[in-house]
Structure 1
Amino acid sequence: MGIAALVTWIATAVLGFTMLGLWLSKGGLRAAQSDASIPTRLVPPLIFSHYLLAAAGLILWIVYLIIDRDILTWVALGLLVIVVVLGDVMFLRWRHSRKEATPEAHLPVPLVYVHGLFAVATIMLVLLTALGIGS
């Protein structure tokens, strides 16, 4: 289960990094400035907190796979819960801004949903690993 979680976590991260790159390339940071003519609903603290906590959890998961300390599964799961909450907030803001002229409106719908699908698979696999099911 641990390796499967790693694979889905990496896939989720790649998809998320792709979305981050698209948001940045469409002027996401410029739009977040108070004097920007193009608004954004995705503010940098929200986006970068989501990204950094997810990356920290991934690194922690790799450490868990190397040293096999069960407590690390629960810490990683705790980080993932926070990441999921932040991701849900971003998803709701993205859905409300899809018809507006915002940088996040350019994110491909399938990319957003596949990222979320992999995220759900990741959190489920991490939970199963933490519970010792399937190992």
Structure 2
Amino acid sequence: MIPVAIAALVVWLITVGVGSYMVRLWLGNGGLTRDSSHFPPARVFTHLGLAVAGLIVWILHLATGLTLLAWIAFADLVLVALLGGLLVNRWRVDGRAAMADPGASRPDLAEQHISRPPVVLHGVLASATLILVLLAALGVGT
């Protein structure tokens, strides 16, 4: 049986991988250009940076066994999730507007080049990561 803390690490790594893929798509389609995206770059990179920072804290928790580090990683993930929720909401609103009137003259937004499957997968994996980290911080499955 895999300990919950190790499962959290594996799921977190996969989540970061899917998120990095989406950032690459966003950047490759002009995400940093003001007219090409409704995503504030600071929000995108804060979301990514906090996710990676939390992952590093989680690895330190695994290496040292310090429970405080587990709780810091969990708090970090809550912030990451809040930022991610803001991003996915903007992605959803713009996507629905584009689908409602496909002939309308709209800018080609970088984030609309990110299809639904990676967004959904990232959200499911992120939710699983948050739950697994919480369970591990609580000492479940050790």
Mark yes or no: TM-score above 0.5: yes
SS in 2 for 1:29: coil
Q: Which residue of 1 aligns with 2:45?
A: 48
2: CA distance, partners of 1:78 / 1:88: 15
2:135 corresponds to 1:132 = no
2:115 corresponds to 1:118 = no
1: CA distance, partners of 2:38 / 2:135: 34
Instruction: Write out per-residue CA displacement over residues 73-117 of structure 1, whole angstroms, 9 at most, x where no aligned residue.
Output: 100000000000000000000001122521100101100000000
2:27 corresponds to 1:24 = yes
When the two structures are superposed, what TM-score results if normalisation uses the length of structure 1? 0.93
Q: Which amino acid aligns with 2:138?
A: L
- Identity over the aligned pairs, expressed in percent? 43
2:61 corresponds to 1:64 = yes
Q: Which residue of 2 aligns with 1:2?
A: 5
SS in 2 for 1:2: helix
2: CA distance, partners of 1:134 / 1:3: 10
Which deviates further from its counterpart, 93-102 or 120-129?
A: 93-102
1: CA distance, partners of 2:30 / 2:93: 18
Cα distance, 1:63 vs. partner? Answer: 0.7
Q: Which residue of 2 aligns with 1:86?
A: 83
Runs of 5+ consecutive residues of structure 2 not aligned to the other structure: 99-105
Q: Which amino acid aligns with 2:5?
A: G
SS in 1 for 2:119: helix
Alignment length (residue pairs): 129
Name segments (4+ residues, structure 1) moved above 4 Å.
none
- Which is greater in Rg? 2
